[in-house]
Structure 1
Amino acid sequence: MNYMKEYEKKLKTPEKAVKIVQDGDWVDYCAGAAFPELLDAALAARKGELHDVNVRGNLEVKPVKVAEQDPENISFTYNTWHCSGYGRHYIDRGGAFFSPMLFRNCGSYYTRGLANVDVVMITAAPMDKNGNFSFGLNNCATQEIIDKAAHVILEVNPNMPVIYGLACDHIHISKVDCIVESNVPVGVVPSSTATDIDKKIAAYIFPYLQNGMTLQLGIGGTPNALGDLIARSELKDLGMHAEFMSDGYLSLYQAGKITNQKKELQRGKGVFSTCAGSRELYDYMDHNMDIMSAPMSYVNDPYIIGQFKNFVSINGCIAVDLYGQVCSESAGTRQISGTGGQLDFVTGTYLSEHGQAFLAMSSAFFDTKGHIHSRILPRFTAGDIITTPRTQAPCIVTEYGVAALTGKTTWQRAEALISIAHPAFRETLIDAAEKQKIWRRSNHR
């Protein structure tokens, strides 16, 4: 079959391609670096023409034009599965909304008919000789969304790396309705600079790490600081099994620390589901047979994670209360991020024979007026969203140490958490613990 003739037949301008979208449709944009920039701009240009169109995104790495240009929701309402800074800004403004989810279940929301989608727009790598387009940096729940959608539009971009996958890593031209060609830079995410506090937190986690472990690193300064420590250490034969691949892993590959040779599953392959980072990272991943994408339903499945004998998961959080409840996605009722895969990996790591999960944060923070606030709270009362329940709380880490909470009583948790709180708040937290009847009289002040 002559796939190029079919390609040319389906090739359209962005403006003509988005004519598929009708009033009342749900439109999905592919997550992260697979964001369809030209299609988004063309759809936004239909403001005033369309009515009640819902657009759904995820981990935004570039400005979303339908949200930027229609803050009053005249034609479009923007919704996100997981906020980046862009999504947070749109929600703060009042014109966009958050969709709670667990990443491992995200695809099933589509297959079970719980999430509607009429049109899906995806950035993909150029077509190969067999008529296939690689999903590149975003496997995630892309296949489930395509299977549910009535129409598929590809934004084909040579800047998207080709990445081999365990499953659901490409689409054939026969399944595509429209093709738009693009050459815009794929969205990058600058690497977070590790602070002195990040480095102290990383130093507390480092002694728990072992040769041959399989590693999942979250996003932010602490994972980057830990990556630097590992790169300069004697650790070896590490594996990667991560929902999100970032530049923290690149430094470990370049230092020869990640070999994936000791993994119980997918030996020799570093596995991820979605990726956002530097152009250097994307170039490293392009046609790299050592790295493999996989659906989020696989990567984040606790049963899969539990099959690794020595799995280490390190993620960030925003606040913890004295009972061990963990908030990782909101400040009060203000949406900051999303549940993502934190609970997936906390659950799966516990099933791992020698698994260890760490949730890291600074002990305190300063507000815009320069006032200091503790991240360890007596209890949550301001509408903060609980991401990890106290029943599954693992090790909490601040720049003052590690508090292991699993299996601990309420008074043991309070004592452990207060010991890693900022010193300026410890007496106040003890007083609160006493009032809440979770402080033993024999506990030390």
Structure 2
Amino acid sequence: MEKRAMSNKWRNLHADKIVSAAEATQKIRPGDRVFIGSACGEPQELVRALVEHGDHLADMELIHVLTLGVAPYTQAKYAHSFRPNAFFIGNSVREAVNTARADYTPVFLSQVPQLFRSRRLGIDVALVMVSPPDDYGNCSLGVSVDITKAAVETAKLVIAQVNRHMPRAHGNCFLNVRQIHFLVPHDEPLLEWPVAGEADEVTRRIAQHLNRLIPDGSTLQLGIGRIPDAVLSTLTDKNDLGIHTEMFSDGVLKLARQGVITGRAKTLNPGKIVGSFAAGSRELFEFMDDNPQIEMHPSEYTNSPFVIAGHDNMVAINAALEIDLTGQVVADSIGQTLYSGIGGHADFIRGAALAKNGKPIIAMPSTADTPEGVRSRIVATIQEGAGVITTRGDTHYVVTEYGVAFLHGKTMRERAMSLISIAHPDFRAELLHAAKRRRIVYPNQIMPPAQAPYPAQYEETITLRTGEKVFVRPIRPDDEPMMREMFYEFSEQTKYLRYHAALKAMPHNKMQIFCTVDYDTEMALIGLVGPPGAEQIIAVSRYMTDAEKRSAEVAFTVQDDWQRKGLGTYFFEKLVKIGVERGIKEFQAYVLVENAGMLKIFHRSGFVVETETEGDVVRVTMRLPEVEKDGKRRK
């Protein structure tokens, strides 16, 4: 990058356009609407000159997206000169926006270029940063194309800081010097996005849940922050992932170098990493330079829901600040405080929902630290003044450290139960009471006690001897609809063997008891098959301990079509292992005499087995074998 950029040939060819930053900004007039390049592509030298010249200007509107610099023009002393107008609220402008010294325009970034082109938001001056021109006079917008290209193409006056540190990116990101009125040569390191620190336990658990939602060959959209970086770090076991995103950072760089991101399976721009801006380190910028694997495109392309929907297996992962029990997602405000912006959130959520096998995902920690203390991000009702970015009809997947809730096509009751199940345990009772007051859930709905957190450590994916994969996890109260479906799929024989009676129905008041366990005196595991969102339960196992927690009664059931594949043995052994780890020494089961399959599993368990037959029921008692000092088992 630096060798090519060091050439001064372009200076001679375009000497008539070369001026200093001070000279260039003096061309700006009072009342102009000025666009400033975004994020790591901010033209820092031009911004400094603009502010220094600010005393001679008045009533200027400054248009920008995400600002990483100090944004001195937001200071109160410049209020007579500059009125910032942000499409996205970063740290540098948040106070100004919330104290009415700056404006925020809530709009989908995919639609901003049309605002410029139609002159509904006409740009008078564009201040941007570009790479040095090549022999044909073409400059690259490098790390920041987004809405910058449209601003340049529609502005009356274009001033470009020419910086050899700006990577010459490929894609629809080039300007010719004929489109630029003034060139300001000034080399300086690009602004860098701070590298996220080591992921904490909450973030790692969220990333693990997200990993399961991303199959090989997926095309990903990820935002900025700890969760995107953490999920990218878990994807080293994936193959042929693709990227079509608004922005990308160093996590993409690492997976591209490891060969995980190839783009081979992409239906649009195959083999290419596509983004509209990059926010990361100098290493990322150097990787982008003249790299044909990376294409930078304007926001009207990257963020178009129609383009996004054209990607099969599109997975869009976006953050949220809070979500209510019906699935309304707040992402740009905390109550009446404007915090961030719409950005590409809604564009990608809607586009991924329209894509073939697409997955629009909201990912967030279950709680937030506030000056008033810890509060739940999953709430009964959104705060007054908060803005809904994703409607309840657009919300499909919600992920916290406590699991995944799939909401699309679900009733209000099912949504509420799913979201309560992935809320922090300390807030679940409060949320359930609120849902009952709003008459969203059953009046007699029960939940596990708060002191019994969901044991995510027991989640795993197993491969049967047939090659089929089954996802195993502890049961949750929101599994009731799937448990109900499984019950009514059972053959009469399976129902009889499991319940020792010819049950015809399993109403809510009975079924919810099976789905609500405290993970302490009672444990239940389920086996799931099918893609997330279209899963079905094919097996369930459980134990209940006695008062002293020294012995437990076990039971398990496997769907008819999945019997004789080793699931019964697996679930029994898994359940017993959990029980033994918790100090249980003895297990009992009540089995019909004719249930030879289950009896065989018990006798092959390695336990000391005793049986007692009463009528048509066999009581099986299984004890851990005692071990003598010489290491031999004593029966």
User: What is the TM-score of this pair, normalised by structure 2?
Assistant: 0.67
Q: Say whether the 8 Å CA contact 2:219–2:315 is kept in structure 1.
A: yes
1:320 and 2:320 correspond: no
Q: Say whether the 8 Å CA contact 2:22–2:53 is kept in structure 1.
A: no
Deviation at 1:229, TM superposition (A): 0.8
What does residue 272 of structure 1 align with?
275
What does residue 179 of structure 1 align with?
183
Q: Say whether the 8 Å CA contact 2:217–2:241 is kept in structure 1.
A: yes
Q: Say whether the 8 Å CA contact 1:3–1:173 is kept in structure 2.
A: no
Report Cα offsets for 1:260-301 as digits up to 9, x if no partner.
111111111111111111111101111101111111111111
2:192 alignment partner AA:
V
1:95 alignment partner AA:
R
1:201 and 2:206 correspond: yes
What does residue 32 of structure 1 align with?
39
Unmatched runs of 5 consecutive residues or more in structure 1: none
Deviation at 1:171, TM superposition (A): 1.1
Deviation at 1:87, TM superposition (A): 2.2
Unmatched runs of 5 consecutive residues or more in structure 2: 1-8, 448-635
Q: Say whether the 8 Å CA contact 1:3–1:130 is kept in structure 2.
A: no
Deviation at 1:65, TM superposition (A): 2.6
Deviation at 1:89, TM superposition (A): 3.5
1:14 alignment partner AA:
A
Deviation at 1:93, TM superposition (A): 4.7
1:220 and 2:222 correspond: no
Matches within 5 A, 1:325-364: 325-364=328-367
Secondary structure of 2:426 counterpart: helix
What does residue 93 of structure 2 align with?
87
Range with greater deviation from structure 2 (204-213 or 93-102): 93-102
Report Cα offsets for 1:186-213 as digits up to 9, x if no partner.
0100122222111011111211221111
What does residue 499 of structure 2 align with?
none
What does residue 292 of structure 2 align with?
289
Alignment length (residue pairs): 438
1:421 and 2:428 correspond: no
Deviation at 1:405, TM superposition (A): 1.0
1:155 and 2:161 correspond: yes
1:170 and 2:174 correspond: yes
Q: Say whether the 8 Å CA contact 1:414–1:439 is kept in structure 2.
A: yes
Secondary structure of 2:261 counterpart: coil
2:326 alignment partner AA:
Y
Q: Say whether the 8 Å CA contact 2:60–2:81 is kept in structure 1.
A: yes
Residue 432 of structure 1, aligned match among 434, 437, 442: 434
For 2:216 and 2:149, the matched residues in 1 are separated by 35
What is the identity percentage for the equivalent residue pairs of Structure 1 and Structure 2? Answer: 32
Deviation at 1:144, TM superposition (A): 1.8
For 2:257 and 2:405, the matched residues in 1 are separated by 32
Residue 136 of structure 2, aligned match among 119, 130, 133: 130
Q: Say whether the 8 Å CA contact 1:124–1:155 is kept in structure 2.
A: yes
What does residue 306 of structure 1 align with?
309
Deviation at 1:372, TM superposition (A): 1.2
User: What is the TM-score of this pair, normalised by structure 1?
Assistant: 0.95
For 1:227 and 1:245, the matched residues in 2 are separated by 11
For 2:46 and 2:311, the matched residues in 1 are separated by 41
RMSD: 1.5
Residue 258 of structure 1, aligned match among 233, 246, 261: 261
For 2:427 and 2:329, the matched residues in 1 are separated by 18
For 1:3 and 1:281, the matched residues in 2 are separated by 26
Secondary structure of 1:189 counterpart: coil
For 1:147 and 1:218, the matched residues in 2 are separated by 27
What does residue 379 of structure 1 align with?
381
For 2:206 and 2:62, the matched residues in 1 are separated by 39
Secondary structure of 1:309 counterpart: coil
Residue 246 of structure 1, aligned match among 212, 229, 249: 249
Given the superposition, is the C-alpha separation of residues 208 and 415 from structure 1 closer, same or farther in structure 2, using an over 3 Å criterion? same
Structure showing greater radius of gyration is 2
For 2:110 and 2:83, the matched residues in 1 are separated by 25
What does residue 122 of structure 2 align with?
116
What does residue 113 of structure 2 align with?
107
What does residue 27 of structure 2 align with?
20
